[in-house]
Structure 1
Amino acid sequence: MKTIKTTLVLIFIAFGIFSCSDDNALIIDPQDEISLEFRQELNVSYGNDNDQVFDIYLPANRTINTKVMILVHGGGWTSGDKSDMDDFKDIMIQDLPNIAIVNINYRLADTDNQPYPMQIDDITTIVNVLKANQNDYVISNDIGFLGTSAGAHLSMLWSYAFDTNNNVQMVASVVGPTNFTDPAYTENENPILQEIIDTFGIDVSTAYLEELSPYHQVTSTSPPTILFYGGQDPLIPISQGVDMETKLSEFGVTHQFTLYPNAGHGWIGVELLDTWTKLKAFTEVHLE
């Protein structure tokens, strides 16, 4: 237990500072499935940019029914690295050993490259690469997302608006922005919050902000969603989580919502243990 708690505390760092082949097409001898060992491949390239790489961790004894969790790091769409999610990856390998894990990098935004749709396109490419290599990896098409901060936004947006084959079985948001038309953003006087909006372009229409907001993309068929937010977060207003929970309820989407009143843009201790306990249980129901 001490080892697990120590690992959980380290997850705090990962919060960040600032599409279909048929499973039935696979023909694999059951004896081969039993003999499969744990396998990992690091920095698998899926594009020409140096940031277009991912790490994949394939569990022992996997089968064509083995589901995949995709980890998406934060960093305000302009920074961060897949290594920020290593602590999540490590504890998932320990506590959820039957799930394959894909820890991704994506192209980072700068003055010449806005995050949307570039980063969504990267996720689409990754999902297609996984499908194209399904025979080799021995995994199913069923996937889940776990994202933190900007990565949580990308995870929700792709799952709600771009999963054309309904492969996403669950999505987890840890302090992810959900609604860029929220007055807490559009009418803010906080230069840090304004910088977040400006990342997507200085002059953006309401229609554009709605297009890139998970809040405005939810439907009755959206995948089960689990949300975690901090009541004292300087970057993500409380309304981002509260309103998202309301929207999911309105559409009848299976979901869980946790708000830690005294937490900021990340947390440790008892609250972090609570996060992992809930996230693990949610994943066991919807992805294992």
Structure 2
Amino acid sequence: MKNLRSRFSFAILILVFLFSSCQEDAEVPLDPSVALELTDLSYGMSDRKRMDVFLPANRSSERTKVLIWIHGGAWIDGDKSEFRDFKPLFESVQEDYAYISINYRLFNLVGNLNKFPSQEDDVKAAIKFIRSKLSEWNVSDKVVLAGASAGGHLALLHSYKNDDNFVDVCVALFPPTDLIMLAQTNAFAGILLNSMIGDINSQQQLYIDSSPLNFITNNSVPTAFFHGTIDTVVPVSQSQELERVLGENNVSKLVQYFPGKGHGFSDQTYLALLRDTETFIRQHLP
């Protein structure tokens, strides 16, 4: 009998421990009155499938907009930490925004790993994860998707091709928009795209499917985009073609070209264009 009581007591202790552990592991509701940084949140199995989330104090699901940033780096380099340089500029012209910066799998030139559309697929997965978290984070479903260079390409591609009425405004800085044209007008880009996508002749359809221009319709989201006129990395013609096709489809747009500027701008230029971008966003997301 004594042995039986000892076993029973031990079982009770185990149950208490398990119950306590479950309580500790349970998600604690986030206090919307407090600003939070949630770093390296996972949205998939790969180490690259991570995001940083910056939630403002006193946020609400009715009012707080969400801006999602996709970093550049020619699809082979870069990191979500890029946004930390842009964040103070955004915050100086915007109020009551939550910011999210995402990583995605990079194409590995040496190992020929993560060929396109791995990057496109990762953006889709990240957006799906974000969409599922809006209520938990106490933010609205008013969403701006933005990025620079390769990140601008991925933002445009998702917004025009893969989005399901989630993104409200797209913002792109010096973005590739037509990968066939890019491969033919930039020698380095041609070599990179040949490795990342394949031979332009045998994989022409994949180039077409990976180019934002080919998915613009008269229902496409309002788009703001910016380009330097002497950009030698992504020629300004990429944005000029984007402007033309958006115009043909009567899509609301804000486009600015910067004479004498290359692939990247000064903080002063960024600040000015972000002010104009915020005005454009407010026209569509009051």
Query: Structure 1 length normalisation: TM-score?
Result: 0.81
Instruction: Return the match for 1:214 from 196, 212, 215.
Output: 212
Determine which structure has greater relative contact order: mean sequence separation of CA pairs < 8 Å that are 6+ residues apart, divided by chain length: 1
Partners of 1:129 and 1:269 lie apart in 2 by 31
Judged with a 3 Å threshold, the aligned counterparts in structure 2 of structure 1 residues 231 and 136 are, in CA distance, closer, same or farther, namely: same
Deviation larger for 210-219 or 198-207? 198-207
- The sequence identity of aligned pairs, in percent, is 30
**Offset at residue 139 of structure 1 (A):** 1.8
Hey, what does 1:198 align to over in structure 2? 194
Partners of 1:169 and 1:242 lie apart in 2 by 22
Hey, what does 2:3 align to over in structure 1? none
The alignment partner of 2:260 has SS state of coil
Q: Deviations over 1:211-235 (max 9, x none)?
A: 1001111111111101101111111
Hey, what does 2:233 align to over in structure 1? 235
**Offset at residue 191 of structure 1 (A):** 3.0
The alignment partner of 1:193 has SS state of helix
**Offset at residue 34 of structure 1 (A):** 9.8
Partners of 1:115 and 1:140 lie apart in 2 by 34
Partners of 1:52 and 1:193 lie apart in 2 by 25
Partners of 1:149 and 1:55 lie apart in 2 by 20
Partners of 1:34 and 1:193 lie apart in 2 by 46
> Computing the radius of gyration over CA atoms, which structure comes out larger, 1 or 2?
2
Partners of 2:92 and 2:159 lie apart in 1 by 26
Paired amino acid for 2:143: I
Structure 1: tracts of 5 or more residues without a match = 1-31
What is the aligned residue count? Answer: 253
Q: Deviations over 1:37-73 (max 9, x none)?
A: 2222111111121111111111222222222110011
Instruction: Return the match for 1:268 from 262, 266, 269.
Output: 266
Hey, what does 1:278 align to over in structure 2? 276
Partners of 1:144 and 1:269 lie apart in 2 by 21
Paired amino acid for 1:224: P
Hey, what does 2:131 align to over in structure 1? 131
| 1:162 paired to 2:162 | yes
Judged with a 3 Å threshold, the aligned counterparts in structure 2 of structure 1 residues 213 and 62 are, in CA distance, closer, same or farther, namely: same
| 1:253 paired to 2:251 | yes
CA RMSD of aligned residues (A): 2.2
Structure 2: tracts of 5 or more residues without a match = 1-28
Deviation larger for 241-250 or 266-275? 266-275
